[in-house]
Structure 1
């Protein structure tokens, strides 16, 4: 039961298992999702499930990784990177906030915090699939607009971290602590617009 994310075995029913697991995790959360329910939803035996994922945590993170891929591709397809910088940041902010407030994303974060001491590989897989990938995508964009002289960004990695945190504002923590289940669109718009305005005020030429 101590397999690491890099040692996941793949086979003929691998995608079938992931599809069933995603359905159950989104419905029941990590703690509420049983191996029996996942196997049933995937249409496989428990033995088959365990042959791919000997630890439920590994399965959870793999589902999260694929969800990150889906969200990233959706964002890249929608964002017009040739648009003015504020418009690009605005659209990127919308996708980021939606990701931050995703139940699956937050559930994975909670599991990683709870398991950090016993299962550091889980935290590494979460970080590389989610926060680090978001950071790297944003750094690449910011470095490009700095090179073109559209903004003055001497430290793109730091600027990327700053914009990500600006987009979280009070929304992320309140949702993570279950103090609010959802937010009015106007409140989300206020946070994103404020993040873009603050970022442009700091780095605009």
Structure 2
């Protein structure tokens, strides 16, 4: 947390509060998620909820941070030393796409953009626990792949961010602007195949 965000209290009902808040934020969005509703869903009193999170935005940041970190972990639960690059990137891409097209990810992105001026810590926490974490994990894998001779990359950090952006082609933007509600299986296959092909055309050894 930065200097503008209070330290989070961790106690026996912390996980309970986070789980309840996640369900409410997912169903109601940030503005629609009242403290009363979150407390009821979590099975705690408002006093208990406030003892952990005195501000709803702080609670949302914590929920978003944990969700992004969890998704990044799931996307990269592959032994980097054993899996060929195309297989690794393809498998990881489907997990990434599942998160990017989820209601939760869409809500997080919109809220971070909308609140970034008034509450910059929201954007910073989202970036650190989402895109930056994924960049670090991808970079670690790309280093292994370069050592094996499967990839040739001079700027690994840039390549990791480029791959994330390729994954956002078409579908993510169309969902953010409410052009489509959910992509078809064919649309997902097309974007992922194109992203992996383009990445390997540039960086494949």
* TM-score between the two structures when normalised by the length of structure 1: 0.92
Instruction: Give the C-alpha shift of residue 55 in structure 1.
Output: 1.2
Distance 2:69 2:155 in 1: 26
Counterparts of 2:181 and 2:147, CA distance in 1:
41
Shift of 1:188: 0.4
Q: Quickly say closer, same or farther: Cα 1:138–1:84, change in 2 above 3 A.
A: same
Measured after TM superposition, the shift of residue 137 of structure 1 is 0.7
Match of 2:177 in 1: 177
Any conservation in 2 of the 1:39–1:46 contact (CA below 8 Å)?
A: yes
Contact 1:145 1:151 in 2 (8 A): yes
User: What RMSD in Å do the two structures reach over aligned CA positions?
Assistant: 1.6
Query: CA offset at residue 69 of structure 1?
Result: 3.1
Distance across 2 between alignment mates of 1:161 and 1:6: 30
Would you say the 8 A contact 1:61–1:108 is kept in 2?
no
> How many Å separate the matches in 1 of 2:198 and 2:89?
11
- CA offset at residue 5 of structure 1? 4.2
Q: Is the 8 A contact 1:4 1:58 kept in 2?
A: no
**Counterpart check, 1:32 vs 2:18:** no
Answering whether residue 50 of structure 2 is matched by residue 50 of structure 1, we say: yes
What is the deviation of 1:20? 0.9
- What TM-score do you get using the length of structure 2 for normalisation? 0.92
**1:97, distance to aligned residue in structure 2 (A):** 1.4
Do 2:75 and 2:93's aligned partners in 1 also have CA atoms closer than 8 Å? Answer: no
Distance across 2 between alignment mates of 1:75 and 1:117? 30
Corresponding pairs, count: 202
Q: How does 1:151-170 map to 2 (within 5 A)?
A: 151-170=151-170
SS of the residue 2:118 aligns to: coil
Q: Secondary structure at the match of 2:76?
A: helix
By how many angstroms is 1:111 displaced? 1.5
How far off its partner does 1:136 sit? 0.9
2:131 is the alignment partner of 1:106: no
Residue segments in structure 2 that go unaligned for 5+ positions in a row: none
Partner residue, 2:20: 20
Secondary structure, in 3 states, of the residue corresponding to 1:152? coil
The yes-or-no answer on 1:9 pairing with 2:9 is yes
| Structure 1 gap segments, 5+ residues each | none
1:149 paired residue number: 149
- 8 Å Cα contact 2:68-2:126 kept in structure 1: no
Relative to structure 1, the CA distance from residue 7 to residue 105 in structure 2 (aligned partners, 3 Å threshold; closer, same or farther) is: same
